[in-house]
Amino acid sequence: MAVYILRRIGSMMPLVLIVVTSLFFLMRTGGIGDPASVILGQEGTEEAIQALNERLGVSRPLWVQYIEYVTNLFQGDLGKSLLRGTSIKLELARVLPYTLELTLGSVLIGLMLGIPMGVFAAVHHNSIADHVIRVGTILTRCMPTFVLALVFLVVFAAKLHWLPILGGGQRGNLPDILRHLVLPTVTLVFPIAAAFARVVRATFLDVMNEDYVRTARAKGVHEKTVKYKHILRNCLSATITIAGLSVVALIGNGVLIENIFARPGIGKLFVTAVLGSDYTVVQSVILVYTGIVILVNFAVELSYAFVDPRIRYD
């Protein structure tokens, strides 16, 4: 396993370098905008814009900027924001916890709701409860996330005043953080739980017809043992895949949700940087997204060996 992990990490390095290089040149040649023009506004003269670009270091040759950027990157330095002059690494360290707690919390709650629903629907196949769960999950998956977010904001925050409308809560104040997490988490949990329920139901029904399941029942194995040890365990591989995809999707959907609920997460930081043509922040955020996707896919790949004894990474 250790040799496999090291080999996979080594194979990821060229991919990371390609992503870093592509981001660097796309941000500077892709028309994202001139940060000096954004900072100075309409009143900025060409001389002032040129002078500011020179002070920011963006008027130097691209190959010089690239070598400096890659050198600093491998030393753990993501550079500074062109607009605010603050350390990008510190900015990401400040906002990343807001995104991670929303993403991981939504996936965990979605698992706890979706798996039991999927098992229940499969065990009571073609019953009224099964049809209700199937229709409900389809409708939930079809509902746009931003519509749910706006409905929850209007009903539970603006009208009933049960929960705070905006913000991420005060750091160090757990009750306040949890109160600010409720609405965005519930918004994301609905489609995630629906996805888990549908996958678990379909996989459970397929596994129920396998020969080893019929053999276990013929041997007199208790029905609960058959369902939850033999059948459900073999559904975990598909569930883990959906969990990994959900984490990746939520990191992307967080851009929308964090802006709707004004959460100071990585998605809000990304939108602010794009609107301000702050391409150093934009490329850093995309690089972090890429790193998260790679790590999640790697973790999903390794977890298969723990739930399926037929898989070995030697």
> Over 242-300, what HEC string results?
HHHHHHHHHHHHHHHHHHHCCCCCHHHHHHHHHHCCCHHHHHHHHHHHHHHHHHHHHHH
Phi, psi of 7 (to 5 degrees): -65, -40
CA pair distance 105, 109, nearest whole angstrom: 6
At 118, the amino acid letter reads G
Residues 6+ apart with CB under 8 A from 52: 36, 39, 40, 44
Residues 6+ apart with CB under 8 A from 17: none
**Tally of CB atoms within 10 A around 190:** 21
DSSP class of 76: T
Best CA proximity match to 292, nearest among 241, 231, 234, 249: 249
**Tally of CB atoms within 10 A around 205:** 16
**pLDDT, tens digit (0-9, with 9 covering 90-100), for 63-107:** 887 888 888 888 888 888 877 778 888 888 888 888 888 888 888
The whole-number pLDDT of residue 177 equals 82
Give pLDDT tens digits along the chain (314 positions).
667 677 777 777 888 888 888 888 887 776 555 666 666 666 666 677 667 667 666 667 778 878 888 888 888 888 888 777 788 888 888 888 888 888 888 888 988 998 889 888 888 888 898 889 889 888 887 888 878 888 888 888 778 778 877 777 777 778 888 888 888 888 888 888 888 888 888 888 887 777 777 777 777 777 777 777 777 777 777 778 878 877 777 777 677 888 888 888 888 888 888 877 777 888 888 888 888 888 888 888 777 777 666 666 55
The whole-number pLDDT of residue 4 equals 67
The whole-number pLDDT of residue 34 equals 62
Domains annotated on the chain, with CATH:
2-73 (no CATH), 88-307 (1.10.3720.10)
**pLDDT, tens digit (0-9, with 9 covering 90-100), for 257-278:** 888 888 888 888 888 888 777 7
Q: How large is the angle between the packed helices 174-208 and 232-260, nearest 10 degrees? A: 140
- DSSP secondary structure string for all residues of 198-236: HHHHHHHHHHHTSHHHHHHHHTT--HHHIIIIIIHHHHH
168 near 105, Cβ under 8 Å? no
**Whole-number Cα distances in Å, 158 to 153, 170, 221:** 6, 20, 54
Average pLDDT, rounded, for the chain: 79
> Over 143-196, what HEC string results?
CCHHHHHHHHHHHHHHHCCCCCCCCCCCCCCHHHHHHHHHHHHHHHHHHHHHHH
Residues 6+ apart with CB under 8 A from 151: none
